[in-house]
Amino acid sequence: MTIQSNPAPGNGNPPKREAPTRPPVRGASSAPVLVKVPPPFSIRLSQFLWIISFAVGGFTAVYFFIIRQELLPLIADVAREVTEGRDDTTYEVAADIVFWVVFAVMIAVLLVQITLLVSFMSRRLHIRWWQLATLALQVLLVLLSPEWVALGQRGEPIPALLAAQAGLVLLALLSSILPRGIRWTARQHDVRHGPETPTGTDF
């Protein structure tokens, strides 16, 4: 009769043990992380339309300045029709003032819109209302320009250029208020909780 003896502890191969599960690097309770996510298509389209409007506005301002010498006598004639009996110097000064006021408004609106676009892309709240206010000024320029500065053959393109700029701004604003654009602005920051992607990401 053969008696088989059990191996003594420590002799032979030790029993295999499974390695403990490695804890996750990020847990459900891990701190949120700010991430950079591309804006949705509606916002990128709005940004593109704004940039095109800046190009049109810049071209309009440069063209308006180039034809200044031709516009001044025509603006003086309009002032003469409004108020008669003054000397020519008064009308020339009035024409010069009208021209530079309109030109300053063109440049100021353009610079303000550029600044507002930077703030808008940084997701500052209520920027759309300020952009809408600049659009109202542009519409006012479109309506008043044929009466005061868009005079003569060289001045005929000015209302069309101003209207084109205002139209691009209107399209940019409409694109920015689409649902995904509104949600993108309202989030202000894209946050990642653990390994998940940012909640509400729009591409």
Check residue 111 and give its pLDDT: 97
Instruction: Please state, as a whole number, how many other Cβ atoms lie within 10 Å of the Cβ of residue 77.
Output: 13
d(CA 57, CA 59) in angstroms, rounded, equals: 5
Where do the domains of the chain lie? 36-187
**Can you read off the two tokens belonging to residue 187?**
């989030």
Residue 200, pLDDT score: 44
pTM: 0.75
pLDDT of residue 26: 54
Per-residue pLDDT of the chain (203 residues; tens, 9 = 90+): 455 555 555 555 555 666 666 655 555 555 566 667 678 899 999 999 999 999 999 999 999 999 999 999 999 988 888 887 788 888 889 999 999 999 999 999 999 999 999 999 988 888 999 999 999 999 999 999 998 888 989 999 999 999 999 999 999 999 999 999 888 888 766 665 555 444 444 43
* C-beta separation of 64 from 158 below 8 A: yes
* pLDDT for the residue 39: 84
SS3 assignment, position 33: strand
Question: Dihedral, CA atoms, 29, 37, 177, 42, nearest 10 degrees?
Answer: -150
Phi, psi of 35 (to 5 degrees): -130, 160
